[in-house]
Structure 1
Amino acid sequence: MSSRDAGTAALDQTFLETTIYHNRVFQSYAIDNLAYLVPIDEEEEERLHIMHNVFSMIFEGRLLFAPINRPRRVLDLGHGTGSWAFEVAEHYSQCEVLGIDICPTMQPRDTPANLYLQVDDVNRSFSFEAHQFDLVQSRMMAGAVHYNRWTEYVRDMLRVTRPGGWVQMIELSYNFQSDNGTLTENHALRQWSARYNDSMHNLKDVRVATRLQNLMREVGFVDVESRMIQLPTCAWPTAPRENEIGVANRDNVQRLLNTHALFPFTERLQMPIQDVHLLIAQTRVEADDPAFRAYLPLWVCIGRKSRGSRR
């Protein structure tokens, strides 16, 4: 049985239902289940493409960080627009690439024959059998995985990875920092960070990025490596390559400040929408001011499943 058919069923139409909050389109299932509180409209799809291009610049086009030359099966958790999975499928034409995401509407229409995109909620235990994939990727899932699910989520990744296979995790820590220490708790970017964290209390761990290395080791991964990269909010770095990344990331940050805050701030913190718009406007000015040298910490972590593992 092919992977396109294995363990799949006809799409539940509830995944296609949408709802409107403050003139943005959200997936009803995601909102009702508090699974993902970010819009799914064309504007957000465009932001995700921008972010993917920023990541491509940061990683210099490298798709797989682990020492894998010829992957046979790859799993992408929370594929979003499908950009990464699409590129992996094109680059490794003999590899079977599977992607799962809660939202089916952002999937590319034309895909390589070796790419299979499925609709599923990562907050459920994975339906895949054990030891299936040479590589599993989890990228930008802090806003999707429930705060008390992370250990089991990483354990699920270990289970479906083949002995000797790898997992790579990429997450932003949603806590704006300053490279020169000029941002204080009184600044809008720090207030946004604190309120975003408060709005996700007992729901999502928006700073899980700093714990990825420990999580992977706790569940049994070996050869775990972790690295933090400063993701500039605008073109403040002086080094040409980092400056170029800052230029590209500016639009992503300007949009992210709105899309990530809109529902949580108004619905979970009960902030008036006017106050939310005012705070977002202030954060955008600060994020765009090179004097603050503002950045978001981007964490990259990889780990290997032991060849003798029976998990």
Structure 2
Amino acid sequence: MAVAQTATAGEIKDVTNLFTGTEGTYLLPHHAKEIERLKEQHALILFSTGDVLVTAPLKQSKIKVLDCGASDGTWLLDLPRLYPQHEWSLHGVDIGSSLFPPNAGPQASLDLREFDIRSPTAPEPSWEQGFDLVHQRLLMWGLQKSEWATVVKNHFSLVKPGGWIQLVEGQWVERDHPFDPVTHPNLDKMYRMQWWCTENFGKDMFVAYRLEELLKEAGFKNVQKKQFTLGYGALAKSPEWKKRSVDMWIHTFRGLGALLPEGGIPGVLRNKAEFDELMVNLHAETLELGYAPRMNFVVAQKPE
């Protein structure tokens, strides 16, 4: 877990096995087991989308791609497997190099670098207007609300004229129709806890709704969105994923317990014990009733 703080949050306990270079930036769990969760999440997205990684209409045979927030390179490594008609040059950046795998076996094909995407200066000059595709997925918890426009403009400078960008973010809760606290009391508490965490730590819980606008403002054209539904628990798309999806999801939110301030979250939780109880109840409720957030794949083209 990246250590973060606000005036009202008080002291937050450190979590062991920290990845270096992410302190104060990334609010979800950020220890060694997080790589396992990210791979599970990647597998769920692949299953839910029918093995879709890219929705941009890439036509050329050779593609130089940059994954921003690459973690251990799982997304990059699946590109040649799922899109063998292209010859891929695989590049990735992440704010912390501790996530990078050893440079051996399939991973030897990856060019992974420690880099902060909030920086306007590329790691090397050849990266300027150097990529056919720039990809970024699920950084709601990693970027401040005020940083999104800057980051997308930085990406614009890395895309070749005529090249594409793809942003992928989840509509984890419907902005205008959140959960009914009577029928879904624990999912409602989960929503209100997420809202509190994102508001108090400067994140944008509903950034998935703004992706098209951000891309247009940065200068991209041909903006297109494709939406997929992820099924958790009772709404999983196969029996295999019913419990597996809920286990993964609860593992994610257990990390938010480290962000609880003294006195808890008004109207939601009073202390860590109530948080732990919520995790148990949320697991049971999702298995029984299900949870079906949407994943937005938004692509856009840089003008020639």
The alignment's TM-score, normalised by the length of structure 1, stands at 0.78
- Distance of 1:184 and 1:77 partners within structure 2: 40
Question: What is the identity, as a one-letter code, of the residue corresponding to 2:292?
Answer: Y
Q: Name the residue aligned to 2:89.
A: 96
Q: Name the residue aligned to 2:251.
A: 255
Q: Name the residue aligned to 2:276.
A: 277
Question: What does residue range 228-267 of structure 1 map to in structure 2 within 5 Å?
Answer: 228-236=227-235, 241=237, 248-259=244-255, 261-266=256-261
Q: Name the residue aligned to 2:6.
A: none
- Distance of 1:185 and 1:28 partners within structure 2: 41
Q: Name the residue aligned to 1:168.
A: 166
Q: Secondary structure at the match of 1:95?
A: strand
- Judged with a 3 Å threshold, the aligned counterparts in structure 2 of structure 1 residues 174 and 180 are, in CA distance, closer, same or farther, namely closer
Q: 1:174, CA displacement in angstroms? A: 3.4
- Distance of 2:28 and 2:50 partners within structure 1: 28
Pairing partner for 1:62 from 52, 61, 82 = 52
Query: Within the alignment, does 1:134 sit opposite 2:125 as a pair?
Result: no
- Distance of 2:263 and 2:230 partners within structure 1: 28
Q: Name the residue aligned to 1:152.
A: 150
Q: 1:280, CA displacement in angstroms? A: 2.0
Unaligned runs of 5+ in 1: 1-14
- Distance of 1:182 and 1:226 partners within structure 2: 28
Q: CA contact under 8 A between 1:35 and 1:145: conserved in structure 2?
A: yes
- Distance of 2:109 and 2:292 partners within structure 1: 37
- Judged with a 3 Å threshold, the aligned counterparts in structure 2 of structure 1 residues 159 and 84 are, in CA distance, closer, same or farther, namely same
User: What count of residue pairs does the alignment treat as equivalent?
Assistant: 281
Query: Within the alignment, does 1:72 sit opposite 2:63 as a pair?
Result: yes
Q: Name the residue aligned to 2:19.
A: 27
- Distance of 2:241 and 2:135 partners within structure 1: 23
Q: 1:114, CA displacement in angstroms? A: 3.4
- Distance of 2:229 and 2:240 partners within structure 1: 13
Question: What does residue range 179-198 of structure 1 map to in structure 2 within 5 Å?
Answer: 184=182, 187-198=185-196
Q: CA contact under 8 A between 1:122 and 1:145: conserved in structure 2?
A: no
Question: What is the identity, as a one-letter code, of the residue corresponding to 1:275?
Answer: E
Query: Within the alignment, does 1:105 sit opposite 2:102 as a pair?
Result: no
- Distance of 1:246 and 1:81 partners within structure 2: 26
Q: 1:21, CA displacement in angstroms? A: 4.3
- Distance of 1:22 and 1:274 partners within structure 2: 18
The alignment's TM-score, normalised by the length of structure 2, stands at 0.80
Q: Secondary structure at the match of 2:283?
A: helix
- Judged with a 3 Å threshold, the aligned counterparts in structure 2 of structure 1 residues 154 and 23 are, in CA distance, closer, same or farther, namely closer
Higher mean C-alpha deviation, range 76-85 or range 100-109: 100-109
Pairing partner for 1:114 from 109, 112, 127 = 109
- Distance of 2:253 and 2:148 partners within structure 1: 24
The alignment yields a C-alpha RMSD, in angstroms, of 3.2
Question: What is the identity, as a one-letter code, of the residue corresponding to 2:18?
Answer: F
- Alignment identity in percent? 21
Question: What is the identity, as a one-letter code, of the residue corresponding to 1:116?
Answer: D
- Distance of 1:189 and 1:22 partners within structure 2: 27
- Judged with a 3 Å threshold, the aligned counterparts in structure 2 of structure 1 residues 226 and 159 are, in CA distance, closer, same or farther, namely same
- Distance of 2:172 and 2:294 partners within structure 1: 8
Q: Secondary structure at the match of 1:289?
A: helix
Q: CA contact under 8 A between 1:226 and 1:302: conserved in structure 2?
A: yes
- Judged with a 3 Å threshold, the aligned counterparts in structure 2 of structure 1 residues 72 and 300 are, in CA distance, closer, same or farther, namely closer
Q: CA contact under 8 A between 1:123 and 1:146: conserved in structure 2?
A: no
Deviations 1:111-134 (A, max 9, x none): 444311111222333525431100
- Distance of 2:30 and 2:271 partners within structure 1: 22
Question: What is the identity, as a one-letter code, of the residue corresponding to 1:115?
Answer: L
Q: Name the residue aligned to 1:286.
A: 285
Q: CA contact under 8 A between 1:266 and 1:273: conserved in structure 2?
A: no
